[in-house]
Structure 1
Amino acid sequence: MAGRATALRLAAAVSAALLAASCGSSGTPAAPGDSGAAPKLEGRGDITFVTGKDTSNNMQKLVAEWNSAHPAEQVRIVELPESADAQRQQMVQNAQVKSDQYGVINLDVVWTAEFAANRWVVELPRDQFDLSKFLKPAVATAEYRDKLYAVPVYSDGGLLYYRKDLLEKAGVTPPKTWPELTAACQKILALPEAATMGCYAGQFEKYEGLTVNFDEAVHSAGGAIVDEAGKPTVDTPQAKAGLDILVQGFKSGAIPQKAITYKEEEGRRAFQAGELIFQRQWPYQWALANKTDGSSQVAGKFDVAPLPGATGPGTSSLGGHNFAISAFAKNKATALDFIKFFTTEQAERSNLLATSQAPTLTSLYDDPELTKQFPYLPTLKASILAAKPRPKAVRYGDVTTAIQESAYAALTGAKDSATALKELQAKLQDLIK
């Protein structure tokens, strides 16, 4: 609560400063020809660590360990709102007024290009991190124009959570395709104990989670939001087929109507309450849904599988978070060491044990003790290695807003999918150049 209060005070200060600041970005976009070694990071002393809500309290535990070992370089956590969109907004506001109140910032993987291009974060010395030990897709999310601007700390891949007890009773196997999933639901819903359950849900509220779910549906149907050259490609039969799977899911009732309001936490609570047979979710849910303190009705009753696709296993959108250093922060040398501390095998193992979030160090996915405790790790590793990134765009905030508006209009029936995608294609062509 103290962290949230501090965040609100900082946000208020930033907002006040913005009134006096000129409109638009105060950062100078990085020039394509920028070259040379990473600048030396100097200054030691206290820093802030700015992050979304620490639901597991493990970040605070690790920070306490750091503080105990570094009495002259204390780290204070600043917790931002739970919503990724609100986190980004406060980080952008802080950068636009060149405030030094943010030190190490916990960036969603899709924000790297925007923050690097606007010089809101500093380039990091690549030679001080053994990047060969990290998952390659995760490292790519921390780079911009072949330079390192962040370090991957948490990765993420979408998983299909399912009620293994009900699948076994109905005599069905985990589905690999959308038709198999809906067919499995028909059999399971015929069971007395499943009569009031919903078939499937993901994250469909109008926020970043909808961008992720749309991205996965399109890729899993053989399409893409942008091609390898970065050009928008959503006005295609493949993209329409992917979006139509979700649209038809809502129309048929396979996706409950209330799922249009689901973000990660709303969906998690519904699954843990026994309201869903299948759910698209990140790995963090594993630990929470397996709690035996009465908060979950499905502990020990579920498992995970790859996301379903049109004709075979689907494709996850690449998620995760990277730690970067604000360009306006003091004590950047301390900030760099703090990032190194958070990416040690010991720290990443601690986070996995406490949260079931995806680590970025490859070795942890092959550790026999960890795979015994977290049997989903091989499936998760495969999901991440095959995952597709969301569009890398300097104007990512505008890009994701356009995607959300078009997808939401189609899911709610405000527009047919063909019209929504045609309009989205035009918007993205203007935004991604």
Structure 2
Amino acid sequence: MALRKVFSLMVLMLVVVFATAQVSIEIGLSTREIGAVMDEHIANFEAQNPNINIKWLKVPGVPGQQHSQYVTLFFGKSDKPDIIAMDIIWPGEFASRGWLEPLDRFFPPSEQGEFIENMIEAAKYNGSVYGVPLYINGLHFYYRTDLLEKYGFNPPDTWEEVVKQATYIVEHENDPNLYGYISMWGKIEGLFMNYLQFLWGKGGDFFDENGNLNITSREAIEALQFMVDMIYKYKLAPQSIVTYTPDDARILFQQGRAVFMVVQDFVWPMLTAPDSIVRDKVDFKRVPYFEGHPDTYTVCLGGWLLGINVNSKYKEEAWKFIEYLTSHEAQLKTAVVTGSLPTRKSVYDDPKLLEQFPTANKQFEDFMVGNVRPSAQLGETYTRVSEIMQQEIQAALLRLKTPEKALNDAAKQIAPLLK
């Protein structure tokens, strides 16, 4: 009898031990993204889920270096990290290679509908969803309020109005250091993003409705021709724009040397800082469209999503942490602490967000007419396709090729990658 009691007690103790054993979940995330609030998020989550321990793998802050680290781990079939933070252009590639767990069983359409739609589209591949949007950013159209008011202009809606207003203002200001328009047209990812916005604004797209490559269409050629014309015909953009990064454009605008600019939203705090020449003379709105296409979505979106490693041993626990990080409360906290804006639509109605970021609603309006790069359709070929497009767009901007030839040459290089 005594032995039976001892045995029963041991069994009970083992049950308790196993019931309270901690599962360790690792998340790959750089300190650059939402690092300033991660320790607080981890502490709060662990307090609510004492059986789950979160380890933070602090990957490099440069996206390219992060990508390389993840690829190395995936090729080695590592089960860590369980969760990875992904640039908006990675889910298609990672999913096409079989590296991500489909999230359909965790993340039904009803819950997907709580997030900004095109961020969800970026997370899909072959009909399944592979990521949950963590935070969002995008390109915006910045303008000098003082110069528009001085000459009686309303902020332009169309690119035709941009040309008209910028031409008039530059001519009448008679300042050789003032440009009508600047952006990031160096041979970087931002150049492809810029081209897509002109293409979308023409009513075109990278693929047609049947999924065929569509970069030799009339709209595609006219979009690139307009970029060329901004430099050489209208003379609104400097020839040096073909070397500009986002910061190059931002610095010029902040120095009061441009009327209009398109770059990402990270520049807003710098443009409105106390030492900025344009701090009280700048505003922003959605990226323009071309006449006749007011319903096109022209704001090229960026942002980060969370996905689950297909080799993770703890997918359910990993999902619980993703669910926490993308909840209303956590996204609000992330935004307030880091300035990274939420992807969950309800947060934009929260007075706490608007109190901290008075421009959040304006940014949300721009995001709602946002579009995403074709990374989900291109999968693992996206990076190479983007490089080809950058190279050929630059060739046209440097007048080494006509826009039509540049795009035809791009199509010839891209087509074999799609087979």
Normalised TM-score (structure 1): 0.79
1:106 aligns with 2:85: yes
1:287 aligns with 2:273: no
1:145 aligns with 2:126: yes
The CA distance in 2 between the partners of 1:405 and 1:43, in whole Å, is 51
1:425 aligns with 2:411: yes
Report if the CA contact (8 A) 1:316-1:384 is conserved. yes
Deviation at 1:212, TM superposition (A): 0.8
Which residue of structure 2 aligns with residue 171 of structure 1?
152
Instruction: Kindly report which structure 2 residues correspond to 1:75-114, keeping only aligned pairs within 5 A, or say none.
Output: 75-82=55-62, 84-100=63-79, 102-114=81-93
Report if the CA contact (8 A) 1:43-1:331 is conserved. no
Report if the CA contact (8 A) 2:22-2:53 is conserved. no
Which residue of structure 1 aligns with residue 11 of structure 2?
none
1:53 to 32, 42, 47: 32
Instruction: Kindly report which structure 2 residues correspond to 1:271-420, keeping only aligned pairs within 5 A, or say none.
Output: 271-292=253-274, 294=275, 296-311=276-291, 315-329=298-312, 331-354=314-337, 356-367=339-350, 370-371=353-354, 374=357, 376-391=359-374, 392-394=377-379, 395-420=381-406
Normalised TM-score (structure 2): 0.82
Deviation at 1:115, TM superposition (A): 0.6
Deviation at 1:128, TM superposition (A): 5.3
The CA distance in 2 between the partners of 1:330 and 1:299, in whole Å, is 51
The CA distance in 1 between the partners of 2:319 and 2:31, in whole Å, is 20
Which residue of structure 2 aligns with residue 213 of structure 1?
194
The CA distance in 1 between the partners of 2:71 and 2:398, in whole Å, is 31
Stretch deviating more after TM superposition (181-190 or 212-221) = 181-190
Percent identical residues: 28
Report if the CA contact (8 A) 2:156-2:288 is conserved. yes
For residues 66-115 of structure 1, give each alpha carbon's deviation from its aligned partner in whole angstroms, at most 9, with x where no partner exists.
Answer: 33333872432524243x44543443333223345544222222221211
Q: Cα distance 1:46–1:369, how it changes in 2: closer, same or farther (>3 A)? A: closer
Residue 390 of structure 1 aligns to a residue whose secondary structure is coil
Instruction: Kindly report which structure 2 residues correspond to 1:225-240, keeping only aligned pairs within 5 A, or say none.
Output: 225-240=206-221
Residue 233 of structure 1 aligns to a residue whose secondary structure is coil
Matched to 1:405, the amino acid is Q
Matched to 1:381, the amino acid is F
Which residue of structure 1 aligns with residue 182 of structure 2?
201
For residues 197-242 of structure 1, give each alpha carbon's deviation from its aligned partner in whole angstroms, at most 9, with x where no partner exists.
Answer: 2221222122221111111111112222111222101112211111
Deviation at 1:402, TM superposition (A): 1.6
Matched to 2:40, the amino acid is E
Q: Cα distance 1:331–1:264, how it changes in 2: closer, same or farther (>3 A)? A: farther
In angstroms, what is the RMSD of aligned CA positions?
Answer: 2.9
Report if the CA contact (8 A) 2:285-2:366 is conserved. no
For residues 267-302 of structure 1, give each alpha carbon's deviation from its aligned partner in whole angstroms, at most 9, with x where no partner exists.
Answer: 33333333322111233332342233x3x3322321
For residues 157-194 of structure 1, give each alpha carbon's deviation from its aligned partner in whole angstroms, at most 9, with x where no partner exists.
Answer: 43201111221122221112222112222333246596
Instruction: Kindly report which structure 2 residues correspond to 1:12-91, keeping only aligned pairs within 5 A, or say none.
Output: 44-51=23-30, 53-54=32-33, 59-69=34-44, 70=46, 73-82=53-62, 84-91=63-70
The CA distance in 2 between the partners of 1:195 and 1:355, in whole Å, is 39
Deviation at 1:426, TM superposition (A): 2.0
Matched to 1:393, the amino acid is L
The CA distance in 1 between the partners of 2:72 and 2:401, in whole Å, is 33
Matched to 1:118, the amino acid is R
How many residue pairs get matched? 385
Residue 61 of structure 1 aligns to a residue whose secondary structure is helix
Report if the CA contact (8 A) 1:104-1:324 is conserved. yes
The CA distance in 1 between the partners of 2:260 and 2:31, in whole Å, is 27
Residue 359 of structure 1 aligns to a residue whose secondary structure is coil
**Greater CA radius of gyration, 1 or 2?**
2
Residue 287 of structure 1 aligns to a residue whose secondary structure is helix
The CA distance in 1 between the partners of 2:231 and 2:203, in whole Å, is 21
Deviation at 1:379, TM superposition (A): 4.3
Deviation at 1:244, TM superposition (A): 1.0
Matched to 1:76, the amino acid is W
Report if the CA contact (8 A) 1:188-1:194 is conserved. no
